[in-house]
Chains A and B, each alone.
Chain A
Amino acid sequence: MKLSLTINGDPYRENVESTQTLLGVLRDDIGLTGTKWGCLTGDCGSCTVLVDGRTVVSCLQLAAQVDGSTIITVEGLAGRGRTMSDLQDAFVRHGAAQCGFCTPGMLVAAEQLIRDGIEADEKAIREGLSGNLCRCTGYNKIIDAVVEIAATRG
């Protein structure tokens, strides 16, 4: 099927299998490999992207269902002409990435929590990020970074 998507501000028209997942389209058809494939059953959150301003796990998202949607992946967080967003910068300063595999999903999920106005509260942010697993278990630094940006943007 023909699929029209706006991804990180750019229009795409792709010819894809109708049962392809959004994750598969992003990585295989379009080559945006920042979004990671992990568990493929919606548990780990490493494939998190924004679809029309809502976080979804793209491994469970049928691409056919989001035809015409606006997608933001980790590659689109910085915005054009910038090297990193404030949140990405905070992740670096706090040492919030160890192996880095969960980082794209963490960044996208946290970015949307902050955009939705989450309080700069550790408990709320831990709950909000409970769908993103870090197998290095480096959660404290991730939470610190997100709390900082929730506070500075709030």
Chain B
Amino acid sequence: MTAAPVAAPAAEVFRPADVAEAVRFLADHPGAVPIAGGTDVMIDRRLGRLSTGWLVDISHLDTGGIVRDGDDLTIGATTTIRSIETSRELADTAPALVEAARVLGSVQIRNMATLGGNLCHATPSAEMPPPLLVFGSSAALAGPSGERSIDLADLATGPGTTSLAPGEMLVSVTAAVPDGIGSCYIRQTIRWAMDLAGAGVAASVETDGDTVTALRVGLGAVSPIPMLVPGLDDIAVGHVLDPDVLAEAAARARDACSPISDARGTADYRRHVVAVLTARAIRIAAARARGTWPIDRLAPPNGFDPEVLPGRENGPVR
């Protein structure tokens, strides 16, 4: 029997007292890597994808938790995915975030993994970016020369890379969640649990009566970085969400993405799935905006919910 393994040789852990000390240490030690839940960092180290002398433990730092202030919803970077999944506040105001959190990994992984880790690891299929993008989120960064705020869409720059400067870390994300906004996140996977998305789609809808006043769709796993679908305002704002508008939005999402073929599906299949999921996510988000979606009912992970939303466009993926 082999002995249980150590994580990796020749490395040390630094535990800063606060964010300021963390960024000073990161700036003074090029190559040092922040670690919070460790569910990506430890795997990357185990698999030899990451070698570093220093791990900077930020898991215990107070980054503010989940706070709503007017239309602004701020979530600290060290907030666990499980805390997002089980937040009453988020279930009421931004169910897309709950729907993304609850399909990430397992209970054990969600107890450890953090929002900041999910965003800064910059995996194209990450669950949390699409719903945050449809809320027009910004990211608060702390660095050795102070704090700055960027559009969350500018955080990831490619698979596994971010715009964080040396010594910088993500502190929190602020989403714009006006009263009455409806949202939803659904995805396609090969298995129901412990799987990465082949395509992930978030939608947010604001309405005035039956007329759409804002529509956003965010995509994950079908482009090098999570993305917002452009041009949806032109087709939706001022209109009722009839089948033609839904079909046009689905087509724009399909045409905007650039999936690769891999173990989770071919590029063609994923484009098709994006169109199907986009129509479903918009319908569910719109039903929430109009108050016709049952309170406390989360969308099924793939959004197929014929009990609430009958109709051909809600049909199974073919």
Contact = CB atoms under 8 A, between A and B. Distances in A.
Interface residues of A, number: 34
Interface residues of B, number: 33
Interface of A: 1, 17-21, 23-24, 27-28, 37, 40-43, 45, 48, 54-57, 59-62, 64-65, 109, 113, 127-128, 130-132
Interface of B: 3-8, 11-13, 15, 35, 37-39, 42-43, 46-47, 55, 57, 59-60, 82, 105-109, 111-112, 192-194
Contact of A65 (B6, B60, B105, B194): B60
B108 A131 contact: yes
Helix, strand, loop or mixed for chain B's interface?
loop
Contacts of A61: 38, 42, 112
A109 B43 CA distance: 21
Contacts of A60: 37-39, 42-43, 112
B125 to A, nearest CB: 16
Contacts, number: 102
Contacts of A65: 13, 35, 38, 57, 59-60
A55 B12 contact: no
Across chains A and B, which 9 residue pairs bring their CB atoms closest together, nearest first? A131-B106, A130-B193, A18-B13, A60-B42, A27-B4, A64-B13, A54-B111, A19-B7, A19-B11
Contacts of B47: 41
16 contacts: A18-B12, A18-B13, A21-B7, A28-B3, A37-B4, A37-B5, A41-B43, A42-B42, A42-B105, A42-B109, A61-B112, A62-B38, A64-B13, A130-B107, A131-B108, A131-B193
